[in-house]
A and B are shown apart, each in its own frame.
Chain A
């Protein structure tokens, strides 16, 4: 923790603000924190309760110089934001941290009771005397983590470098889903989206959904999706959002984590990411110079006609 705090203090000498985590009084896990001064930085922590992808705040800090504490998955989002020109590389200082994987808060609360404060030490997640192994309540993305460390980082805290050998579909969800018939899948999504309350937490948590106030999910004009909270319109709205993520989603799973009604959005996104990777050989967030397939047009490379 001292390494992290001193790294933040050092970075603070050159930037206006550093995004990180602090112990929260109210929430069950760590809370995102903005450190402006070395004194504030004393409260910085990093452990498996630091679930949030802080890159979501960067587009709104585009006019400031910002530092950010980033896990491997967060760094991908930052890289993609830079590749798309949403934020500038020279304005962001990335403090890459070695990440043990972060916990699924909903699972933790199922173990310890809703809203309880959870702490993490030495591979054991604990609360008021009860403990559980960290591995047992990790988020799905962490169980399938392929990151060898943050793809971009200016400062590194902890030991990073080796990519964990993780299964591609740790919970077997995609496999189970692929076995379903078209009618079953349709029914599945109808059921899932019937719970949607159109709170747009998915969008707010997504670091690459930067449209915010002008988001098409809420637009009456031209109105590709209606605004009602019925399954069909919520589904259409979400599909519009997901199609906007094609070739951009870095798989940070924030949308699914933020969803208060537990719609498995990553199922759709993971499928789409797999298709993009297969067709274009592109994984979002791989680098700051990468060209996102659907956001690139070259009149001389428009070779679909030749390939047929």
Chain B
């Protein structure tokens, strides 16, 4: 007994589809006991009508012609369940997005809706009840990345009483935010608001912090991930090091200063920055004299804690987790190769925005005084160039970095604050100031701080008489502009951080065309990755400013808490299943499964067959296609159901014989 309910969706559907006519046609279809047109099926009275029909007419399966199943399938499944039916005895037909909204001819749209209804009725006859399965979940979360996103996610998860392991590949947490001077639009000191959170991570009883560590390999599935974490050798015993910095002071080997974005220099053994958490030294072997053929053992001799161990080896820890949060953040785009007209890095006074942050920062290489790198002079004319490697099709990077406009305005403001008689110029494409108080801030940069905004791209930067000449277009004035600058700051675009793609492969999740990790749904599931149990936090999913990152990370944490709070996971029953008697044991399914959900099993007679781990399977159906004998099928999408649909939809005009090659 099939119940057929068609939704008018106010006028969304009924304006183009004659729902009464479709219901009448459905009433005549084989097995249909009830066919009704309802104004709003998803409303309480609408659902009540369905429940009443299920009980009154003893329906055992239901077809609902309404909006996309993405929208309300879950709603109607629950309605069926409340009325005492198995929730998977439902078939939804999308006659809104795929019919009424895209057609204008009412009679044609009605005919199409009827065809779609017939197809669904044919299919629902083959539905079988499915039961959701429950599996136990490990109550521990892994957070990959120790920037503001990872910190926020870890603190939120830990606050709910769920243990967290945070893995950070560099010697300190803090990420990019720790390198920023002030933050827009409030001009809070970045490290002043970040440092307390970093310390809290270190001290939190529910957080295990592993720095100098990377995720090596990921096995398992949602609720039961097995993760290998590689702890790199830094030649420093983390337990013993007190962060006294004697080793750094005395180390004779200079090394590049990564934290200061290449400005200034550091030592082979060093603490990345004064607020580093954990405050421990680490040794970079590639720059150390001892590891390059010399006899130097200065740090070991001088260390009062005896923390230096040159023989320290890499170690791989294996841990179990119920959920994983990727919070790998971003890197600035390396502009040099793509912008030959900006000097390709030949001019020391053309710096990136991140380098400029370090020049502004009191903990930076210049102690917070703006000094240009070439001669240490204080610049008077500073030119900012927006959208370097963003919104630029000519270098193949159409995406917006989403933070460049605002941080450039901020840096212009700070320039005037540092050097009152300086003048800042900003070449911009469009001023994107969409956040709360952002527009007011950008406006203040012009009015109060006298920044000159010039709308246009910079064509060329070249040196002339100790200055840098910036040539560009003022598209509003329709004129060429030439500015003699002391310092040029490039607002470089953002990329997913190095190695994010490799990590995504280990986590079995996809990356978009710009290399950022892909969320499951751009609007409704913004923190869930396509692999169950994996969540995204912050800029690894796409460029974000700090408030958005914190909000995103908090959302990811909430999802992790929601998932692990109950201790067990309910998995969708719409997963692949193997009919063992028909399995040839070729394991083609195993080869194509993107989630590693197929395992080898043996029947009692020794015959090898495929078996699906239901809690890992995401129901994508690829194995169905690969299986030569058709032994593996997707619950709720069996070949039988699909054949019934195809046969039905081909019936009236062209006939089954077309499919049959007759």
A86 / chain B contacts, CB cutoff of 8 Å:
586
- Which listed residue (A216, A236, A295, A306) contacts B661, Cβ 8 A? A236
Interface residues in B293-329 by Cβ distance below 8 A to A read: none
B657 / chain A contacts, CB cutoff of 8 Å:
232
A51 to chain B, nearest CB (A): 26
B287 in contact (CB, < 8 A) = no
Q: Compute how far the CA of A287 lies from the CA of B597 in the bound complex, rounded to whole angstroms.
A: 27
Q: A224-B643, A295-B626, A300-B501 are in contact. List 4 more A-B contacts (CB 8 A).
A: A214-B584, A223-B640, A235-B661, A300-B505
A10 in contact (CB, < 8 A) = no
- Which listed residue (B582, B587, B594, B640) contacts A297, Cβ 8 A? B594
Q: Compute how far the CA of A6 lies from the CA of B308 in the bound complex, rounded to whole angstroms.
A: 66
Interface residues in A279-308 by Cβ distance below 8 A to B read: 294-300, 302, 305-306
Interface residues in B618-662 by Cβ distance below 8 A to A read: 622, 626, 628-631, 633, 638-640, 643, 657, 660-662
Closest A residue to B662 using CB positions: A232
B639 / chain A contacts, CB cutoff of 8 Å:
222, 224
Q: A295-B591, A297-B622 are in contact. Are A222 and B513 (CB under 8 A)?
A: no
B202 / chain A contacts, CB cutoff of 8 Å:
none
Q: A210-B586, A211-B586, A214-B584 are in contact. Are A305 and B592 (CB under 8 A)?
A: no
B586 to chain A, nearest CB (A): 6
A85 in contact (CB, < 8 A) = yes
Q: A216-B629, A236-B661, A300-B504 are in contact. Are A211 and B584 (CB under 8 A)?
A: yes
Q: Compute how far the CA of A85 lies from the CA of B591 in the bound complex, rounded to whole angstroms.
A: 9
Q: A215-B629, A295-B626, A297-B593 are in contact. Are A222 and B638 (CB under 8 A)?
A: yes
B511 / chain A contacts, CB cutoff of 8 Å:
300
Q: A222-B638, A300-B510 are in contact. Are A216 and B630 (CB under 8 A)?
A: yes
Q: Compute how far the CA of A211 lies from the CA of B586 in the bound complex, rounded to whole angstroms.
A: 8
Q: Compute how far the CA of A235 lies from the CA of B638 in the bound complex, rounded to whole angstroms.
A: 23
A226 to chain B, nearest CB (A): 8
Interface residues in A193-221 by Cβ distance below 8 A to B read: 210-212, 214-216, 219, 221
- Which listed residue (B509, B513, B626, B633) contacts A294, Cβ 8 A? B626
Max chain B CB contacts within 10 Å: which of A221, A222, A226? A222
B588 in contact (CB, < 8 A) = yes
A219 / chain B contacts, CB cutoff of 8 Å:
582, 629-630
- Which listed residue (A85, A221, A244) contacts B587, Cβ 8 A? A85
12 contacts between A and B (CB under 8 A): A85-B586, A211-B584, A211-B586, A216-B630, A219-B582, A221-B640, A222-B630, A232-B660, A232-B662, A295-B588, A299-B505, A300-B504
A84 in contact (CB, < 8 A) = yes
A77 / chain B contacts, CB cutoff of 8 Å:
none
Q: A214-B629, A297-B592 are in contact. Are A222 and B643 (CB under 8 A)?
A: yes
B508 in contact (CB, < 8 A) = yes
A212 to chain B, nearest CB (A): 7
Closest A residue to B633 using CB positions: A222
B442 / chain A contacts, CB cutoff of 8 Å:
none
A233 in contact (CB, < 8 A) = yes
A60 to chain B, nearest CB (A): 12
A226 / chain B contacts, CB cutoff of 8 Å:
660
Interface residues as binary, A233-245 with B (CB distance below 8 Å gives 1, 0 otherwise): 1011001000010
Q: Compute how far the CA of A302 lies from the CA of B626 in the bound complex, rounded to whole angstroms.
A: 16
Indicate if the CB atoms of B513 and A306 lie closer than 8 Å.
Answer: yes
B631 / chain A contacts, CB cutoff of 8 Å:
214
Closest A residue to B627 using CB positions: A216
B583 in contact (CB, < 8 A) = yes
Indicate if the CB atoms of A211 and B628 lie closer than 8 Å.
Answer: yes
A contacts with B, residue count (CB < 8 A): 32
Closest 3 CB pairs of A and B: A222-B639, A232-B662, A211-B584
B504 / chain A contacts, CB cutoff of 8 Å:
300
Q: Compute how far the CA of A223 lies from the CA of B657 in the bound complex, rounded to whole angstroms.
A: 15
B503 to chain A, nearest CB (A): 11
Indicate if the CB atoms of A299 and B660 lie closer than 8 Å.
Answer: no
A231 to chain B, nearest CB (A): 8
B287 to chain A, nearest CB (A): 33
Q: Compute how far the CA of A213 lies from the CA of B277 in the bound complex, rounded to whole angstroms.
A: 64
Q: A211-B586, A219-B630, A302-B510 are in contact. Are A295 and B660 (CB under 8 A)?
A: no
Indicate if the CB atoms of A223 and B643 lie closer than 8 Å.
Answer: yes
A198 to chain B, nearest CB (A): 15
B630 / chain A contacts, CB cutoff of 8 Å:
216, 219, 222, 224
Q: Compute how far the CA of A294 lies from the CA of B633 in the bound complex, rounded to whole angstroms.
A: 18
Interface residues as binary, B420-459 with A (CB distance below 8 Å gives 1, 0 otherwise): 0000000000000000000000000000000000000000
Q: Compute how far the CA of A162 lies from the CA of B118 in the bound complex, rounded to whole angstroms.
A: 62
Q: Compute how far the CA of A177 lies from the CA of B504 in the bound complex, rounded to whole angstroms.
A: 47
B638 / chain A contacts, CB cutoff of 8 Å:
222
Indicate if the CB atoms of A211 and B629 lie closer than 8 Å.
Answer: yes
B84 to chain A, nearest CB (A): 30
B399 to chain A, nearest CB (A): 13
B603 to chain A, nearest CB (A): 13
B56 to chain A, nearest CB (A): 34
A41 to chain B, nearest CB (A): 30
Q: Compute how far the CA of A223 lies from the CA of B639 in the bound complex, rounded to whole angstroms.
A: 8
A239 to chain B, nearest CB (A): 8
Q: Compute how far the CA of A212 lies from the CA of B628 in the bound complex, rounded to whole angstroms.
A: 11
Q: Compute how far the CA of A25 lies from the CA of B91 in the bound complex, rounded to whole angstroms.
A: 63
Closest A residue to B513 using CB positions: A306
Q: Compute how far the CA of A64 lies from the CA of B511 in the bound complex, rounded to whole angstroms.
A: 44
A212 / chain B contacts, CB cutoff of 8 Å:
584
Q: Compute how far the CA of A223 lies from the CA of B513 in the bound complex, rounded to whole angstroms.
A: 40
Closest B residue to A300 using CB positions: B505
Q: Compute how far the CA of A232 lies from the CA of B501 in the bound complex, rounded to whole angstroms.
A: 48
Q: Compute how far the CA of A75 lies from the CA of B629 in the bound complex, rounded to whole angstroms.
A: 25
A235 / chain B contacts, CB cutoff of 8 Å:
661
A224 / chain B contacts, CB cutoff of 8 Å:
630, 639, 643
A211 / chain B contacts, CB cutoff of 8 Å:
584, 586, 628-629
Interface residues in B570-600 by Cβ distance below 8 A to A read: 581-584, 586-588, 591-594
B479 to chain A, nearest CB (A): 39
- Which listed residue (B510, B586, B588, B633) contacts A299, Cβ 8 A? B510
B530 / chain A contacts, CB cutoff of 8 Å:
299
Q: Compute how far the CA of A222 lies from the CA of B628 in the bound complex, rounded to whole angstroms.
A: 13
B662 / chain A contacts, CB cutoff of 8 Å:
231-232
- Which listed residue (B505, B588, B628, B660) contacts A236, Cβ 8 A? B660
B349 to chain A, nearest CB (A): 38
Closest A residue to B641 using CB positions: A222
Interface residues as binary, B218-253 with A (CB distance below 8 Å gives 1, 0 otherwise): 000000000000000000000000000000000000
Interface residues as binary, B495-525 with A (CB distance below 8 Å gives 1, 0 otherwise): 0000001001100111101000000000000
Q: Compute how far the CA of A226 lies from the CA of B643 in the bound complex, rounded to whole angstroms.
A: 12
- Which listed residue (B501, B509, B513, B594) contacts A305, Cβ 8 A? B513
Q: Compute how far the CA of A233 lies from the CA of B504 in the bound complex, rounded to whole angstroms.
A: 45
A85 / chain B contacts, CB cutoff of 8 Å:
586-587, 591
Q: Compute how far the CA of A62 lies from the CA of B592 in the bound complex, rounded to whole angstroms.
A: 22
Q: Compute how far the CA of A244 lies from the CA of B631 in the bound complex, rounded to whole angstroms.
A: 14
Closest B residue to A217 using CB positions: B629
Closest B residue to A219 using CB positions: B630
A302 / chain B contacts, CB cutoff of 8 Å:
510
A284 to chain B, nearest CB (A): 14
A299 to chain B, nearest CB (A): 5
A210 / chain B contacts, CB cutoff of 8 Å:
584, 586
Max chain A CB contacts within 10 Å: which of B501, B581, B584? B584
Q: Compute how far the CA of A231 lies from the CA of B657 in the bound complex, rounded to whole angstroms.
A: 12
A304 to chain B, nearest CB (A): 12
A191 to chain B, nearest CB (A): 13
Closest A residue to B530 using CB positions: A299
B633 / chain A contacts, CB cutoff of 8 Å:
222
Interface residues in A137-174 by Cβ distance below 8 A to B read: none
Q: Compute how far the CA of A215 lies from the CA of B630 in the bound complex, rounded to whole angstroms.
A: 8
